[in-house]
Structure 1
């Protein structure tokens, strides 16, 4: 049932999109390598205030998650969906995925996290490949 809801939300959300590939918010890169300042996202995409890799590896067990925060800056209850990719220094995609936040009230922040298949965060960069916000019904 949950899979059907996610698919429906993603299909509905496709109508209002930011088609450009953008880096995840600069403070959320997985490594601490200084990066050139990138243009900050505008509009709906700016609602994704944090998107980062979180290395939770312990005792030789790899456990790397993506963690995110959405803050609804619109005046209406909203659903969000976005696609992302993790790439290495040469631009090779290591993994990708989709995230969803639903029923976020105006001014409200929502947080989430999801496990990845990454084995390391060193030199890995997150990019947002698609971002959508739609009014909740």
Structure 2
């Protein structure tokens, strides 16, 4: 049982994209594969912007995640990605998952979500996985 669990965890962790939010400059043509657009480099480029927005005022902390998605494929798409916020010491201080659905080809979608972060100073935002799938 333990061996099966370890094998499952190793396989599941092999699909992670351990890079930061910088999008690649190339965007190869998408290929359809079992309802997914298989585009290892290009689909990530659809995440045009993903950053922290500090809206704090009058001593009240108010930090948001804001993003822009631009669908570069030829099909209506759904997007999901996992992220983490890491401080200057390398400690993860926040993480989560975001979703954007039904984005038409060529369409831009913007979104935002509040965080529980106390500061943006020294925080590095990483995207740990990113997927674009066909929307039905």
TM-score band, normalised by shorter chain? 0.7 to 0.9
Q: For 2:131, what is the secondary structure of its paired residue?
A: strand
The equivalent residue for 2:19 is 22
- Equivalent-residue separation in structure 2 for 1:61 and 1:49 (angstroms): 29
Which protein shows a greater Rg? Answer: 2
What's the TM-score, normalizing by structure 1? 0.75
- Equivalent-residue separation in structure 2 for 1:64 and 1:52 (angstroms): 10
Shift of the alpha carbon at 1:40?
5.3
The equivalent residue for 1:13 is none
Q: For 1:82, what is the secondary structure of its paired residue?
A: strand
- 1:85 matches 2:81: no
- Equivalent-residue separation in structure 2 for 1:108 and 1:22 (angstroms): 25
Which residues in structure 2 correspond to 1:63-102 (within 5 Å)?
A: 63-102=62-101
Query: What is the root-mean-square deviation in Å for CA atoms of aligned residues?
Result: 1.8
Unaligned runs of 5+ in 2: 1-13, 27-40
What's the TM-score, normalizing by structure 2? 0.75
Q: Kindly indicate whether structure 1 or structure 2 has the higher relative contact order, using CA contacts under 8 Å at least 6 residues apart.
A: 1
